[in-house]
Amino acid sequence: MAESVNPIVPIAGMTIDQARALARDRFRARLVAGEPVGGCSCHDESRQSDADIADGKAELVAGVRFRDSGRTYYFRAGLEPIRVGDWVVVETGRGREGGRVVIAPQQIAKNSLQGEVTPILRVMDENDVAHMEEMRSESARAVKQCAALARSRRLPIKVISAEYSFDGSMLAINYSLPERERSPDQSRLRDFAHDCADAMHCRIELRQVGPRDEARLLGGVGRCGRTLCCASWLPVFPEISMNMAKTQDLPLNPQKVSGVCGRLLCCLSYENEQYKQMKAMMPRLGQPVDTQAGPGVVVAMQLMRELITVRLDGDGTELVLTPAEIGVAGDFPPPAPRPEQPRRPERAERPERPAMAKTPAPASAAAAPAPAVAPVMSEAVAEALALAEAVVEGAGLSASGTSGESSGDAPKKSRRRRRRRGGGGGGGGNSSGGSSTGG
């Protein structure tokens, strides 16, 4: 078999699986032989050969920006020499636009480019640059006219900027809505666009932007005293959260970590990864550490300078040390557990009253008087016993005098009524009883 003769040399007409198997064998043979692996440019898609361009697999393109802080778009470079910094006229979906070359022409694979690649028409001359400056001044006047038209129609919008195309055939108007304002109806915006088109004599495109894009278009100075990043060089807004301010030990007050747009500062994301790496290698605040001068506690840290402030336990002296002077970076012992506070003593339960021991009664217990427990209790018990005996005696007399009679079973109120009608207790009872027995 051909593969057994030399499995390293590929054979023409083999399948993809066979070619992959040969590639694995060749890679394994290089590792065994100690030959260098990698370092070739066979997978570098940014650099293609002239043969690939002729076959249509790659494009010779140049990177162009329309704003200093805008994104980079690629356009097909022609035979005319183009250098970085040249102003060129390109064809876009909005018409002809003028931009600056920021990436020199290079060969890039077609599969790495998004969308249709349009050509660069020409390099600007002095007349084209003067025309572009004139269009910018016309854009400033268009902002005032469009703002006046919006006020006349009582639209709750704020016209921020306007941008003419290079040939002046289209005007893009950027506007924003104040806070707590609802977006106007599309019909009102359509009528506003028609009014602007009649006043400017060109096609109008309305764009609603947010607070960050508004700051990008208007520009300004940030808290650091420099030009806003989004207006000078930042092409894409990063993802920012309040956890980044917490990682960098910044105040968690939103007013102190917000920019001119009212949102979190974009620069919070610049050094966030570095702070995470440094905090992973540094001890925590309040962690006990050992130094050459004795044990202490970390009270402050300067992450970017890799300095740690330690307060000694003995005399309270503060020392500024490096991680190497207090231990190996990233190998600090865990903080000592906090001493447990003594628990409050539980409330003692009241002891139960001991039960009185019962003694057997003597034979003459009936004759012997019962011992008095307490004078107060004896009087209460005596009164209760006397009342009970009186009730029992009265119940016995009534039961014996009226046993077998219907009056003994009648309620108390009925007996009182009968007594009142008969004129006496005994006569009424006898008469009623005689009438009942006689009947």
Strand segments, DSSP code E, in 116-234 are 120-123, 158-164, 170-176, 203-208
Contact call for residues 112 and 58 (beta carbons, < 8 A): no
pLDDT bucket at 89, cuts 50 / 70 / 90: very high
Tokens of 87: 């102003």
pLDDT of residue 75: 94
**CATH number of the 282-326 domain:** 2.30.30
Spatial distance between the Cα atoms of 29 and 62, rounded to a whole number of angstroms: 41
Kindly give, in sequence order, each residue whose CB lies less than 8 Å from that of residue 81, ignoring residues fewer than 6 positions away. none
**Cα→Cα distances 263→212, 226, 235, 238, 384, Å:** 7, 18, 17, 12, 86
pLDDT at 356 over 60: no
pLDDT of residue 78: 81
Contact call for residues 311 and 297 (beta carbons, < 8 A): yes
Contact call for residues 214 and 160 (beta carbons, < 8 A): yes
pLDDT of residue 143: 94
pTM above 0.75, yes or no: no
| Residue extent(s) of CATH 3.30.300.20 domains in the chain | 132-209
Q: Reduce the DSSP state of residue 369 to 3 states and report it.
A: coil
pLDDT of residue 392: 63
- In tens, the pLDDT along 264-310 reads 999 999 989 989 988 888 888 888 988 888 888 999 988 888 899 99
- In tens, the pLDDT along 62-73 reads 999 998 888 899
**Alpha-carbon Rg for the chain in angstroms:** 51
Which residue would you say has higher pLDDT here, 296 or 415?
A: 296
Contact call for residues 215 and 266 (beta carbons, < 8 A): no
pLDDT of residue 53: 54
Work out the mean pLDDT of the chain and round it to a whole number.
77
DSSP 112: G
Tokens of 118: 């349009």
Minimum mean pLDDT range among 12-26, 84-98, 163-177, 291-305: 12-26
| Residue extent(s) of CATH 2.30.30 domains in the chain | 282-326
* Topology annotation, domain 132-209: GMP Synthetase; Chain A, domain 3 (3.30.300)
Please name the residue that has the structure tokens 């097909």.
Answer: 76
Question: What sign does the dihedral 93-97-102-103 (CA atoms) show?
Answer: positive
CA trace torsion 121, 124, 128, 133 (10° rounding) = 110
Please give the average per-residue pLDDT across 100-118, as a whole number.
88
pLDDT at 4 over 50: no
Q: Exposed e or buried b for every residue in 236-268, given b needs 16+ CB within 10 A? A: ebeebeeebbebbeeeeeeeebebbbebbbbbb
Please give the average per-residue pLDDT across 107-133, as a whole number.
88
pLDDT at 433 over 70: no
Contact call for residues 281 and 273 (beta carbons, < 8 A): no
Q: Of 132, 165, 162, nearest to 148 (Cα)?
A: 162
Most confident of 36-40, 170-174, 326-330: 170-174
pLDDT at 28 over 60: yes
pLDDT bucket at 74, cuts 50 / 70 / 90: very high
Spatial distance between the Cα atoms of 163 and 405, rounded to a whole number of angstroms: 120
pLDDT of residue 141: 92
pLDDT of residue 397: 43
DSSP 274: H
pLDDT bucket at 432, cuts 50 / 70 / 90: very low
Residue at 262: amino acid letter = G
pLDDT of residue 266: 94
Strand segments, DSSP code E, in 116-157 are 120-123
pLDDT of residue 172: 94
pLDDT of residue 120: 93
pLDDT of residue 428: 42
Contact call for residues 117 and 59 (beta carbons, < 8 A): yes
Spatial distance between the Cα atoms of 76 and 116, rounded to a whole number of angstroms: 10
